[in-house]
Each structure stands twice: as structure tokens, then as C-alpha cells.
Amino acid sequence: MSPEDLLPHRAPFLFVDEILEIVPGDSARGVWRLTGDEWFFPGHFPGRPTLPGVLMCEAIAQVGALAVLSDERFAGRLPLFGGIDKARFRRQVVPGDELVLECSMTKLAARAGRGSGRALVGGEVATECDLMFVIA
């Protein structure tokens, strides 16, 4: 299964290249491989390309959406951001890095939920955050 089979996102705003694991309604893991050809690197920052932290949070949310949308109760629905809490950016992420994305649901109801996730490079935490979402 590919991320496009579940997620409504498409290039250039799909940040999950591969699904590693899904536990429907509970958790998911995926990978985003940064080539350096992504649209944001030339401007963030010229001469020192760095993945914006907010895009790492979005990538974590997309993996969380895989967990939600793989649950038959939510198939075909649209999870939308409701908020981000406790976001921490621990290390710089640059072209050539492989970002392993993890997100676990801490609460999942019919219309909303919460999740907790992180992005890792080489086993080292790059970003971690708690997410709130509504399900349209």
C-alpha cells in the first residue's frame, strides 16, 4: 500500500514516501526521504538548506492521518489540524536525510482526536509534537 492510497495529499505537499507500519486507529510509521530537490530548500536557506520545522510537524500529522484513515470508521474522511502543542525541534534536517515519522493516537473519537509523534534521523529525534485534529 502506498501513502496515496489513504491520504488525500499530493505532491508537492505529500511528505510520506513509504509506509513502514500501520495499526488502524492507533499508530503509524513512515519515511520521508529528502533529496534536496524539494521546493522549499532553495529559499530555506540559500547556501544552507534546512527542512522547516513546521513541515516536519505536517509530516508527523500525515503519518497520524494514515493511522486514522486506515480505520474503517474513518475511511474516506478528512482529518484537519486543530492545533499543535509541545513542539520541539531538536536537530537540523538537511538534504539527503531520511526522516522516520511516528505518530500514535492518544485519543480518537467520532469527530476529533489527539496524537503524539516524532520525526527521527538516524535514530536521533529531530522533532516531537502533540497534535489535535478534527475529522470532517
How many degrees, rounded to 5, is the angle at CA 27 between CA 22 and CA 32?
Answer: 70
Per the annotation, the verdict on 9 as an active-site residue is no
- How far is Cα 9 from Cα 127, in angstroms, rounded to an integer? 21
Q: Which three cell numbers stand for residue 100?
A: 522516520
Q: Choosing from 18, 25, 44, 52, which is the catalytic residue?
A: 44
User: First vs last Cα of the chain: how many Å apart?
Assistant: 23
Q: Which residues carry out catalysis?
A: 44
